[in-house]
């Protein structure tokens, strides 16, 4: 709407300023923003979108003067630092409102980097209830879409009107709505918990369907793209070192998924992760083999040879690696965990109570055997010497390890040793030196272990709900986010603290205390979404579609909103007093899920 007037802005502020004849265009009331412009597809002027390729329209001269004078008025009351991240921003003492006005050709910080605030609706109404020209009550139209709100003000007395919206809009997607979805997704948070928090404090939020549309159209394509770039860069670095030593392990993720992780043991970074669905391979027992096969295929396709791999001691995995001529070692922690469980159960028998005193020593002997040996026969010789050691016999028949390395001590209490020929010794021998255990000891890893993989499995719980059922692509992207977080923080500086173990009579161990983690990957993903994906999501979505998604034998539909679906193009005519106003919302199919609400907040009688 164009309104003719002979009043300057200074006159509207009750100042004695001479009026100038001018033709004014409709302008927007800005709340702490730098610029105002109209979006071509969304007929509500707003703060300009300053992402690359989206330059603000050049504003009329009078509108620019309006903005400058308004900023000067704000400057008298308080200094607002609207772009603290921009390095070119002058010091607060040298801040000039006129110089900070963003015109066509000047640089502005990305819109998504702006500071955000929680504003009460009653406080917003105070800005639009009264006409700034004639001071009479006005018609106020409110439109809300999730966190987005827009106001249209019309004075029936002097026909003054203005429009304002709380956040920029790209296409039909409010930037604030998309940023909340992105922040929730990229940090591994759960939207249902966020929704409960917002409802508890009456903070307006969009439904779950909109969150999923944001994820499918913008967030998941960005996560997949960044992971592929990071993985490519990591593989290129590993090429320089020749053959690689890797460790692999399977983690059950959710009710129907399993994720196999392959880690480069020297750099402590994850090289590949494969998500396997149970119905792909005919059950959980086959998921680990399939995940390992896919990971090794990735290394092979990138011409990266494997020197050896450290895994658990499952026969199925050992047979598969033997068929591919890959050297395999058993992880010491997995071996010790299984063995300790058997010995603990054995020590609870009536005739084997003496073994309780040896559980901790046998556990230590497992690790000592692995790290102090360089060959399989040496590991076996040291391991089998344990049967003599628990009988207080420290000389052995094996020439590789003829006697114990510890000093010989004369014991005054023979009862703590296992007596020769006893039932306890017979059962202990069956556990320690049976064919399967001896074969596994021979292949214990004396180089690297997979303890960091266990730490990563713990980290996964921060990004993936333990018992929730997620779509395949969301599960995969959340696992990729966990990998990004782990790889970024895997080699942080470690400080150790001493911890006293109460179960072992004051024995002390050291535990690592790591520094606070960083989240630079979140900033990178935000920048990717708002600077590239939002501008042109097509190539990113096409790349996402190249990932095969297995069918689900028992499909579970996503949670739907109770609200009715809105057609792609919604046209509404709302009467503001006697003036009809057409407001058109052009919705991008399958992107934002925007639903407009029109409410007359105030109308003069």
Between CA 530 and CA 263 the distance in angstroms is 31
pLDDT in tens, 378-428: 999 999 999 999 988 888 888 999 888 888 777 667 778 888 888 999 999
pLDDT at 542: 92
pLDDT in tens, 250-265: 998 877 899 999 999 9
Quick one: average pLDDT of 567-581?
38
Between CA 129 and CA 163 the distance in angstroms is 13
pLDDT at 296: 96
For the chain, helix (H) and strand (E) counts, in that order, are: 20, 19
Reduced to 3 states (helix: H, G, I; strand: E, B; else coil), residue 62 is helix
pLDDT at 513: 77
Quick one: average pLDDT of 236-242?
90
pLDDT in tens, 103-148: 334 345 567 888 999 999 999 988 999 999 999 999 999 999 999 9
pLDDT at 363: 93
pLDDT in tens, 453-473: 999 999 999 999 877 688 999
Between CA 9 and CA 133 the distance in angstroms is 10
Between CA 464 and CA 256 the distance in angstroms is 13
* Per-residue pLDDT at 366 exceeds 50: yes
pLDDT in tens, 273-316: 999 998 888 888 899 999 999 999 999 999 999 999 999 989 99
pLDDT confidence band for 10 (50 / 70 / 90)? very low
* Per-residue pLDDT at 376 exceeds 80: yes
**What's the chain's average pLDDT?**
76
539 token code pair: 């190539």
C-alpha torsion angle, residues 212, 217, 220, 226 (rounded to 10): -160
Quick one: average pLDDT of 170-195?
93
Side-chain-side CA neighbours of residue 452 (13 Å): 23
Quick one: average pLDDT of 58-85?
33
pLDDT at 282: 82
Q: Domains along the chain?
A: 2-171+574-579 (no CATH), 221-331+448-533 (3.30.420), 333-442 (no CATH)
599 token code pair: 């409410």
pLDDT at 131: 92
Quick one: average pLDDT of 61-89?
33
pLDDT in tens, 512-556: 777 788 999 999 999 999 999 999 999 999 999 999 888 875 544
Between CA 375 and CA 381 the distance in angstroms is 10
Higher pLDDT residue, 569 or 225? 225
pLDDT at 288: 93
* Per-residue pLDDT at 439 exceeds 60: yes
Residues 6+ apart with CB under 8 A from 89: 81, 83
Least confident of 329-343, 488-502, 579-593: 579-593
Reduced to 3 states (helix: H, G, I; strand: E, B; else coil), residue 16 is coil
pLDDT in tens, 67-76: 333 333 333 3
Nearest of 259, 188, 178, 191 to residue 219 by alpha carbon: 178
**Cα→Cα distances 331→179, 310, 314, Å:** 42, 6, 11
Quick one: average pLDDT of 546-569?
58
Least confident of 30-39, 339-348, 506-515, 520-529: 30-39
CA 401 to chain CA mean position, Å: 51
pLDDT confidence band for 565 (50 / 70 / 90)? very low
pLDDT at 104: 39
* Per-residue pLDDT at 335 exceeds 60: yes
Q: Which of 86-90, 102-106, 214-218 has the highest mean pLDDT?
A: 214-218
DSSP secondary structure letter of residue 95: -
* Bridge-based pairing state of the strands 42-46 and 139-145: unpaired
CA 206 to chain CA mean position, Å: 20
Higher pLDDT residue, 508 or 323? 323
Quick one: average pLDDT of 225-244?
94
pLDDT confidence band for 505 (50 / 70 / 90)? low
pLDDT at 149: 93
Query: 258 - beta bridge partners?
Result: 252, 276
């Amino acid at each position: 709407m164009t309104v003719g007037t002979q009043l300057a802005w200074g006159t509207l502020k009750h100042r004695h300023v001479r009026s100038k004849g001018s033709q004014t265009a409709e302008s927007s009331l800005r709340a702490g923003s730098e610029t105002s412009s109209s979006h071509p597809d969304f007929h509500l002027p707003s703060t300009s979108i300053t992402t690359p390729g989206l330059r603000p329209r050049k504003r009329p001269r009078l509108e620019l003067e309006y903005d400058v004078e308004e900023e000067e008025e704000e400057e008298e009351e308080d200094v607002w630092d609207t772009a603290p991240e921009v390095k070119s921003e002058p010091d607060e003492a040298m801040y000039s409102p006129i110089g900070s006005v963003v015109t066509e050709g000047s640089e502005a910080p990305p819109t998504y980097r702006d500071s955000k605030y929680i504003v009460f609706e009653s406080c917003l109404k105070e800005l639009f209830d009264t006409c700034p020209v004639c001071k009479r009550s006005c018609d106020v139209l409110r439109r809300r879409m999730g966190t987005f709100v827009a106001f249209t003000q019309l004075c029936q007395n002097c026909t003054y009107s203005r429009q304002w919206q709380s956040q920029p809009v790209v296409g039909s997607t409010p930037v604030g709505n998309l940023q909340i979805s992105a922040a929730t997704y990229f940090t591994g948070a759960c939207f249902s918990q966020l929704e409960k928090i917002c409802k508890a404090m009456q903070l307006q939020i969009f439904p779950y369907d909109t969150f999923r549309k944001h994820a499918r159209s913008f967030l998941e394509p960005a996560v997949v793209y960044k992971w592929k770039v990071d993985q490519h860069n990591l593989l290129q670095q590993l090429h320089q070192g020749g053959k690689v030593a890797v460790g692999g392990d399977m983690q059950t993720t959710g009710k129907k998924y399993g994720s196999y992780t392959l880690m480069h043991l020297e750099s402590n970074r994850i090289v590949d992760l494969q998500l396997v669905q149970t119905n792909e391979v005919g059950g959980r027992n086959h998921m680990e083999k399939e995940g390992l096969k896919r990971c090794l295929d990735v290394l092979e396709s990138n011409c990266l040879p494997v020197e050896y791999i450290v895994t658990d001691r499952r026969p199925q995995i050992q047979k598969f690696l033997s068929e591919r001529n890959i050297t395999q070692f058993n992880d010491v922690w997995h071996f010790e965990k299984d063995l300790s469980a058997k010995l603990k159960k054995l020590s609870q028998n009536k005739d084997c109570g003496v073994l309780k005193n040896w559980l901790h020593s046998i556990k230590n002997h497992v690790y000592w055997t692995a790290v102090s040996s360089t060959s399989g026969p040496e590991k076996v010789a040291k391991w089998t010497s344990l049967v003599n050691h628990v009988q207080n016999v420290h000389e052995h028949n094996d020439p590789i390890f003829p006697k114990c390395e510890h000093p010989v001590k004369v014991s005054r209490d023979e009862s703590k040793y296992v007596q020769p020929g006893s039932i306890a010794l017979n059962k202990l021998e069956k556990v320690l030196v049976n064919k399967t255990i001896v074969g596994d000891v021979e292949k214990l890893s004396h180089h690297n272990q997979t303890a960091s993989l266990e730490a990563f499995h713990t980290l996964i719980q921060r990004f993936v709900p333990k018992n929730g059922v997620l779509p395949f692509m969301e599960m995969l992207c959340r696992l990729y986010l966990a990998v990004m977080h782990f790889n970024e923080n895997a080699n942080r500086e470690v400080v150790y603290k001493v911890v006293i173990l109460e179960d072992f009579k004051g024995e002390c161990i050291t535990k690592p205390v790591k520094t606070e983690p960083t989240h630079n990957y979140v900033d990178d993903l935000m920048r990717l979404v708002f600077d590239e994906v939002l501008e042109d999501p097509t190539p990113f979505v096409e790349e996402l579609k190249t990932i095969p998604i297995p069918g689900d034998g028992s499909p579970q539909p996503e949670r739907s909103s109770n609200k009715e679906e809105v057609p792609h193009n919604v046209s509404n005519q709302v009467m503001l007093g006697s003036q009809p106003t057409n407001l058109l919302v052009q919705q991008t199919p399958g992107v934002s899920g925007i639903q407009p609400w029109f409410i007359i907040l105030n109308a003069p009688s």
